[in-house]
Amino acid sequence: MLLLDAMSTIAPGTVWLKRLGIAALLALTLGAAQAPAADEAPHRDPLVARVNDHELRLSDVFESIGTLALGDQIEAREQIDTYIEAMINEEMLFQWALDEDFGGDDALRKAVKDLVVRHLIDKHVRSQIKVSEGDARAYYDAHPSQVRGEHVRVRRILLPERERCEQLKQRIATEDDFIAAARKFSLDKSTRDSGGDLGLMMRSDEPSDGYEARFFEMKQGEMRVFDVPQGCMLVRSVYYVNPPLPPFSAVREQILQYLHNRQEAGLVNGLFQEASKSSKVQRYYRTLRIRATIQRVEPGGAGGTSR
């Protein structure tokens, strides 16, 4: 028999008692004095105890024992009454912590929150993800552009009127001309400093608002004017890349991982949406200049903030 080092002076113990920790100690000292629960009617999964409104079934006991090493399982079954009393006291401790508003204990609250979130993600997300070989093959056949990695890079200049876009188009001859004009005239503050660069764009699985797909029709250096809600935009194609389609075997694992991640993201978002129905959230960070604050903090936390 394996004895607990620290507990051996109080009562003989085993690895499974050490696993239950303080609840096991309470069971050893208090369990013998507690009266058994009232007899229950025959049940396929009989009730072994009830702690306030929480029921402890025989299946719960065997499930807990099943997590132990094989040798410890045998010992736990031989001392089943003590093991059950340990589980009862563990539940009492947990309910007592809830009643005492454990949220006031920051360390405990964080530990419980992390555990609950992991459990919910495992139960409602990871266990629900189902991606098959057939799913991967179907995606491969239906989305050759994404599989190939077809992409385009463009720049744009946003202006209030189409006439101004057309006039500016006539005055631009080179990439450098376009970059200079974007920095001087574009209304798009997010891309103006980078010369109107929209970065790399891939064909989207989602319906677009009409003009993104036409970027893939443009030749390198070609410029076109598009009407947008803000007015118009002058777009220049920087380059277009369309690699050959690789064989399915070469991209199978990447597609499976992509489909897994996409399904996981959808399930996680659904779980958050469900939680939001009963939550009241007040967001203050949007009014704070958080990024600027982070940038002022020196590495290592020493020296405070720079001026």
Q: Domains of the chain: which residue ranges? A: 15-100, 102-149+244-274, 152-241
Q: What pLDDT, on the 0 to 100 scale, is given for residue 98? A: 77
Q: What mean pLDDT do residues 88-106 have?
A: 81
Helix (H, G, I), strand (E, B) or coil at 126: helix
> From CA 171, how far away is CA 184, in angstroms rounded?
14
Q: Is residue 208 scored above 60 in pLDDT? A: no
| pTM to 2 decimal places | 0.59
Of the options 3.10.50.40, 3.40.50.620, 3.30.1490.20, 3.30.565.10, the CATH number for the domain spanning 152-241: 3.10.50.40
> From CA 296, how far away is CA 307, in angstroms rounded?
8
What HEC string does 157-194 produce?
EEECCHHHHHHHHHHCCCHHHHHHHHHHHCCCHHHHCC
pLDDT digits (tens, 9 = 90+) for 29-50: 444 334 444 444 456 889 999 9
pLDDT digits (tens, 9 = 90+) for 153-186: 999 999 999 999 999 999 999 999 999 999 999 9
> From CA 200, how far away is CA 179, in angstroms rounded?
16
